[in-house]
Amino acid sequence: MANKSGFDTDTGRGGETHQRAPTRGSHGAEGHLTTNQGIRVSDNQNSLKAGVRGPTLLEDFVLREKIFHFDHERIPERIVHARGSAAHGYFELYKSLAHVTKADLFQRAGEKTPVFARFSTVAGGAGSVDTPRDVRGFAVKFYTQKGNWDLVGNNIPVFFIQDAIKFPDLVHAVKMEADRAYPQAGSAHDTFWDWASLMPETTHMLMWAMSDRAIPRSLRTIEGFGIHTFKLVNARGKVTFCKFHWKPKLGMQSTLWDEALKLQAADNDYHRRDLHESIVSGAYPEWELGLQMFDQEFADAQPYDVLDATKLIPEEVVPVRLVGRMVLDRNPDNFFAETEQVAFCPANIVPGLDFSNDPLLQGRLFSYLDTQKSRLGTANFHQIPINAPKCPMMNFQRDGQMQMNVPTGRANYEPNSLAAHGEEGGPRECPVTGFVTAHDRVENDEQGDKLRVRAELFADHYSQARLFWKSQTDSERAHIASSFTFELSKVALEEVPARVVANLRNVDEELATRVAAGLGIKVPAKAKAARAPIDMPPSDALSIQKNMKATIEGRTIGILIADGSDGGEIQKLVKAVKSAGGKTMLVAPRVGSTKLADGSTLKADGQLAGSPSQIFDAVAIVLSEKGCQALLKEAAAVQFVMDAFGHLKAIGATKAATRLLDKAGVEADEGITGLGNAFVKAAGRRYYAREPKVRTLA
């Protein structure tokens, strides 16, 4: 018979209509299950009912508490940068920077400061894919001994706009369109390009966003930038201007557009998984922190304004001094508690650093604190462990929703004389060690007037867009022209593509002509430039391809095998890749068991149908004649090889696999090798020279 919990005491089996899980008190249990009030729960399978088939009772506080909590598990996602992945780690200083900054974390060579870094896309929602064409956020919280410093940057050194007042317009335009709620994570649509085409100040950033920077291979292979000019302040109060850079240890690496599109289908979580798995495997992601330092005299002599976030300072003009490294060596324990609840804020700076008057930065100083109140629901969000400083924190702020601390005593105001009466008096300000705003004179032509204006050099919208274009390789230029063409081909508002091309004519006539030809439109009259662009010397540092590392360190090689493959050959290859710092993944038509040449069986890591070659950096095709014959009939195998070739990857193959390579249209070049060392060496690169053979670019 059924007892009150629906459990058949006679047979030990659940009844037909009220089954219970057979795991009570068994596998992996640790301690007693309780409610949030600490009451032990007797039955976590059945709600309380009036009779076996009767209605559920309102008094079931166990059920109500569980569902109540579940109903409120989500918080508002970030308005921008909603999709993100993060990790813990440390920053290690190479050499003391005491001569330029008194910031505590920059004083002692070799000292490590704990960090939490979150990477993100910008436009998509929290559940969107990892690989759209988009800017990547690069936000780092340094838990220094003198308070938290947040360096909240992107993987592109400039931004779309110059003044914070345009940010809501930018974000509204780029996010999914208001009425139809698509596209969800990309800029290739009417409203973005309508807005951008009317905002010439976006031109430089558009060049970057249309380049391969916006389709990175891995979060581990992106650069990071603080973008704005900041100030370093030393113990004597001397100010040095500074721009922050992060340089990835693995070098930069991007995907191709066709590959990025196919990655969206192959693995929505491609970047998140890559970050997580690399940390699990001990291949810790690493970046070096670099500083570009300059003074007012330098700033005054440049043909651009260092307070304008649409401009960069070429590294060839002010070198990037590498001052330390960041290593991410620990995955979050809980995504929600850490990655979701982390609250970055550019206003979080420590003594020794300061803001510049960049009008975009100034707006950000307000926005982030404000947004946290609406996301995390309380002014006490700094008490959440991931946000709390790791140094002492004392003040007279009290109460508020979700106050987690229990402040003692009566001293919730200052000044007070309670200490004189034997009571706790609380902390006091310190003019010596406290944060002091760096000396700065607010000056403008009309001293003292309140003005809604921009400084003169902000009007130059094209010189640096041209600098970027001139600094790219031919292949990178073809990618940029093709992305403009692709994105604008998705725009239905007729006059918009022409408006973009009219702007591009101020950047480079050839670029404008290529985009117009790609779109099949007439080259329009040049847009009137608010300020005539100038020519700046090209900067190699702006190109990805000129700065790639030929290495398989941190990369993954897909090895396609089938019945009849040679186990010895597979093993040799796996060993060679591993000793060069790479990872391998065996792919076979059946994941369970592949029958090798010697009759033994091998379990693959991935099934061919679900492991297309776009998830790998290079592929090896290890087949016997018989195996090759069988795979000639597998569309996924042909596609595997065809995409690897089309995505300009190295392909190493056994002689017996030749017919499969032929069927996939593979033509010989430097990247097509046998197995062995030649392949391991070739696998560290992409073969951009192959591209004209596989696709027509603008």
CB of 158 to ligand HDE, least distance (A): 9
Nearer to ligand HDE, 186 or 346 (CB): 346
CB of 125 to ligand HDE, least distance (A): 12
Residues 409 and 422 sit within 8 Å (Cβ to Cβ)? no
SS3 category, 555: coil
Nearer to ligand HDE, 164 or 233 (CB): 164
In DSSP notation, 488-549 reads HHT--STHHHHHHHHHHTTT-HHHHHHHHHHHT-PPPPPPPPSS--------GGG-SGGG--
CB of 152 to ligand HDE, least distance (A): 5
Nearer to ligand HDE, 150 or 508 (CB): 150
CB of 165 to ligand HDE, least distance (A): 8
In DSSP notation, 409-450 reads SS--SSS--GGGGTS-------TTTS--PPP-----TTTT--
Q: Which of 46, 81, 331, 479 is catalytic?
A: 81
CB of 365 to ligand HDE, least distance (A): 9
Rg (CA), the chain: 29
CA 152 to chain centroid, in Å, comes to 12
Nearer to ligand HDE, 137 or 352 (CB): 137
Q: Which helix (H) or strand (E) holds 376?
A: helix 359-376
With 0-12 / 13-18 / 19 or more C-beta atoms within 10 angstroms meaning exposed / middle / buried, residue 94 is middle
Nearer to ligand HDE, 141 or 477 (CB): 141
Nearer to ligand HDE, 363 or 581 (CB): 363
Closest CA to 491 of 478, 501, 476: 501
Residue with the closest Cβ to ligand HDE?
137
CA 171 to chain centroid, in Å, comes to 17
Which residues of this chain interact with ligand HDE, rule CB under 6 A? 78-81, 84, 118, 120, 137, 139, 152-154, 159, 164, 167, 227, 309, 342, 344, 360, 363-364, 367-368, 371
CB of 593 to ligand HDE, least distance (A): 43
Q: How far apart are the C-alpha atoms of 563 and 599, rounded to whole Å?
A: 9
Q: Which helix (H) or strand (E) holds 287?
A: strand 286-294
Show Cβ contacts of residue 635 under 8 Å, excluding neighbours closer than 6 positions.
none
Show Cβ contacts of residue 215 under 8 Å, excluding neighbours closer than 6 positions.
131, 133, 254, 255, 256, 257, 259, 260
SS3 category, 691: helix
Q: Which helix (H) or strand (E) holds 629?
A: helix 625-631
Q: Which of 46, 148, 154, 387 is catalytic?
A: 154
* b/e code 384-397 from CB counts within 10 Å (16+ = b): bebbebeeeeeeee
CB of 364 to ligand HDE, least distance (A): 4
CB atoms within 10 A of CB 513: 16
Nearer to ligand HDE, 135 or 250 (CB): 135
72 has catalytic annotation? no
CB of 696 to ligand HDE, least distance (A): 35
CB of 359 to ligand HDE, least distance (A): 8
Nearer to ligand HDE, 154 or 255 (CB): 154
Nearer to ligand HDE, 154 or 485 (CB): 154
Nearer to ligand HDE, 292 or 584 (CB): 292
Amino acid type, 332: P
Nearer to ligand HDE, 87 or 256 (CB): 87
CB of 355 to ligand HDE, least distance (A): 12
Partner residues linked to 325 by β-bridges? 92, 288
CB of 28 to ligand HDE, least distance (A): 34
With 0-12 / 13-18 / 19 or more C-beta atoms within 10 angstroms meaning exposed / middle / buried, residue 673 is buried
Residues 555 and 615 sit within 8 Å (Cβ to Cβ)? no
Pairing, β 112-121 against β 136-144: antiparallel
Show Cβ contacts of residue 23 under 8 Å, excluding neighbours closer than 6 positions.
none
SS3 category, 92: strand
348 has catalytic annotation? no
| Alpha carbon distance, N-terminus to C-terminus of the chain | 76
Catalytic residue positions, numbered: 81, 154
